[in-house]
Amino acid sequence: MGDDGKVLDIKTADLKLSAPVFHEQAKNLSTALTNLVTALDGFGKPWGGDEQGEKFGDAYEPQQRAIERATGILVLGLTSIHEAMVDMSDGHVDNDELIAGMFAKVKTHADRAADGSGDQGAK
Say whether pLDDT at 87 is over 50: yes
Range of the domain at 83: 19-90
In a domain, 71, yes or no: yes
Spell out a b/e string for 13-33, using b for 16 or more CB atoms within 10 Å of the CB, else e. eebbeebeebbebbeebbeeb
DSSP-assigned letters across all residues of 56-85: HHHHHHHHHHHHHHHHHHHHHHHHHHHHHH
Over residues 65-78, the mean pLDDT reads 95
Q: Distance between CA atoms of 123 and 112, rounded to whole angstroms? A: 17
Residue 51: other Cβ atoms inside 10 A: 8
In a domain, 114, yes or no: no
In a domain, 4, yes or no: no
In a domain, 44, yes or no: yes
Q: How many domains does the chain have?
A: 1
C-beta separation of 42 from 119 below 8 A: no
Provide the pLDDT for residue 17.
85
In a domain, 103, yes or no: no
Say whether pLDDT at 93 is over 90: no
In a domain, 70, yes or no: yes
In a domain, 54, yes or no: yes
